Amino acid sequence: MTTVEILGAPFSNYVRSALMALEEKGVPYTVTPSRAHAPEVNAIHPLGKIPCLKHGDFTLFESAAIATYIDRAFEGPALFPAEPQAAARCMQWVSLLNSSLVPAFQAFAMCHFFPMTADGEPCPDTIAASLPKTRDHLQLLGRVLGESGYFVGGSFTYADIAALPMLDYLKDLPETGTIIAEIPALGAYLAKHSARKSFEATKPPAMAELMATTKAMAREMMQKRVA
Ligand SMILES: N[C@@H](CCC(=O)N[C@@H](CS)C(=O)NCC(=O)O)C(=O)O
């Protein structure tokens, strides 16, 4: 069969999770650096989101679904536990990350990366409004991860692959960086896993370079709005 292709901007935390899943399994892949809503993405994802996967004639979207496919279609270390309770526990945390943690920090992260403001600076009111919930969720993760350094028992699973790219960004943004520094279990969790090959191999550009790219994208979007 053909090589797996991932479509998506590698700086997206969701794209990185899909790439980490491939790295963990040792599956060869190519990345097509597509932005959300690019024609080739819209052809696969009905809402134009990234990542998308192509494998021969098969196409797929949603990072957790992509990881499930990679896990079942290829040999290599399991990303999702086989034992029913552990498998459900893994999906429990993936679901909570996507349905609760992401909405808590999304406005905050968006205003740092894509400040749709005249001066190109993040909106302080948006930051102030999002921080309390983000802090609550980070503290919750600190309590969960504090015992073993994994979401599920003592094993590295897709729940960790879903969380690490998000936490890696949050630790480098000023306000959430301060919160994470105050939660030793989260710092220890990031330190424990940041030497993993899959984490290293999928590292996004350094924050300054990344912000220059995303802020330029934000300016482009604002110009389109005015035009
Ligand atoms: N639940 C989706 C989320 C994907 C997602 O939101 N990707 C962002 C990039 S980080 C995106 O495409 N945003 C464009 C949009 O929401 O319109 C997944 O796990 O793949």
Q: Please state, in angstroms and rounded to a whole number, the distance separating the CA atoms of residues 2 and 74.
A: 13
The CA-atom distances, in angstroms, between 85 and each of 92, 96, 138 are 10, 16, 24
In sequence order, the 6+-apart residues with CB closer than 8 A to the CB of 70 are: 4, 18, 21, 22, 25, 27, 79
Per-residue pLDDT, 158: 98
Task: Count Cβ atoms within 10 A of the Cβ of residue 32 and give its class: 0-12 exposed, 13-18 middle, 19 or more buried.
Answer: middle
Q: Please, what CATH class does the domain formed by 4-73 belong to?
A: alpha beta
State pLDDT tens for residues 140-157.
Answer: 999 999 989 999 999 999
> For residue 41, which atom of ligand 1 is closest to its CA?
12
Per-residue pLDDT tens digits for 175-220? 999 999 999 999 999 999 999 999 999 999 999 999 999 999 899 8
Question: Residue 223 has what pLDDT?
Answer: 87
Q: Determine the distance separating the centroid of ligand 1 and the alpha carbon of 50, expressed in angstroms.
A: 5
- Asked whether 70 and 21 are in contact (CB, 8 A), the reply is yes
**Numbered ranges of CATH 3.40.30.10 in the chain:** 4-73
Asked if pLDDT for residue 1 goes beyond 80, the answer is: no
| 165 has pLDDT over 90 | yes
User: For residue 80, is pLDDT > 90?
Assistant: yes
Distance CA 116, CA 132 (A): 22
pLDDT classification of 224: cutoffs 50, 70, 90? confident
**For residues 202 and 19, what is the distance between their CA atoms, to the nearest angstrom?**
7
Residue limits of CATH 1.20.1050.10 in the chain: 84-201
Determine if ligand 1 sits within 6 Å of the CB of residue 62: yes
Determine if ligand 1 sits within 6 Å of the CB of residue 49: yes
- On whether the CB atoms of residues 197 and 130 are closer than 8 A, the answer is no
Q: Using a 6 Å cutoff on CB, does residue 161 contact ligand 1?
A: no
13 C-alpha to center of ligand 1: Å?
Answer: 9
Q: 57 in helix, strand or coil?
A: coil
Ligand 1 atom 12, closest CA = 49
Tell me how far apart the alpha carbons of residues 190 and 173 are, in angstroms, rounded to a whole number: 15
Domain 84-201 grouped into CATH 3.30.420.40: no
Q: How far is the CA of 172 from the centre of ligand 1 (A)?
A: 20
CA 175 – CA 86 distance, rounded (Å)? 34
C-alpha distance from residue 64 to each of 28, 44, 173, 199 (Å): 19, 16, 25, 17
Residues 16-53 pLDDT 10s: 999 999 999 999 999 999 999 999 999 999 999 999 99
- Give the span between the Cα atoms of 144 and 189, in whole angstroms: 11
| 98 Cβ closer than 6 Å to some ligand 1 atom | yes
Which atom of ligand 1 sits closest to the CA of residue 45?
12
63 lines ligand 1 (CB under 6 A): yes
